[in-house]
Amino acid sequence: MNALFRRAAGYQGDPLNLPVASVSDAIPFYEQRLGFRVIERRELPVRAAILERDGVRIGLVENGGDPAQDGSFFEVSSVDAVFEELSSKGLTLAPPKVQRSGHGAFRAFFVIAPDGLCYMLGEPVP
């Protein structure tokens, strides 16, 4: 079963403005490990790239922000399928468990990208 990414919600409010030190250095992880593809790159006013998977977009931006203080939640169609997919691509991950927030309960797991951004991938708990 293939897992679909359904939506992204940035921790700081904007999943299209995720800070990284180097867009060029960050992109391979997103392509090779998370299954995104670059759909747009720009140099001005700052270096940035828009990446997409299953119609869900994120943006990596050299904006001077601290990646360790940002990231995004990805709602997925099957947390088990995406866990298996990412594990098969060489990521060492803690198994999914129920996470609760003001937005509800999700069965989820976390990925910390080499650039320092943190991602929670999960599906709603009925």
∠ at Cα 107 (109, 122), nearest 5°? Answer: 60
E strand or H helix that includes residue 9: strand 5-10
∠ at Cα 70 (68, 72), nearest 5°? Answer: 130
Alpha-carbon distance of 22 to 114, in angstroms, equals 11
- CATH number of the domain that 22 lies in? 3.10.180.10
Specify the number of domains making up the chain: 1
Q: Can you give the pLDDT at residue 1?
A: 59
Assess whether pLDDT exceeds 70 at residue 75.
yes
Domain hosting residue 118, numbered range: 5-124
Assess whether pLDDT exceeds 90 at residue 67.
yes
Q: What is the mean pLDDT of residues 59-73?
A: 96
Residue 17: pLDDT band with limits 50, 70, 90: very high
Alpha-carbon distance of 124 to 105, in angstroms, equals 6
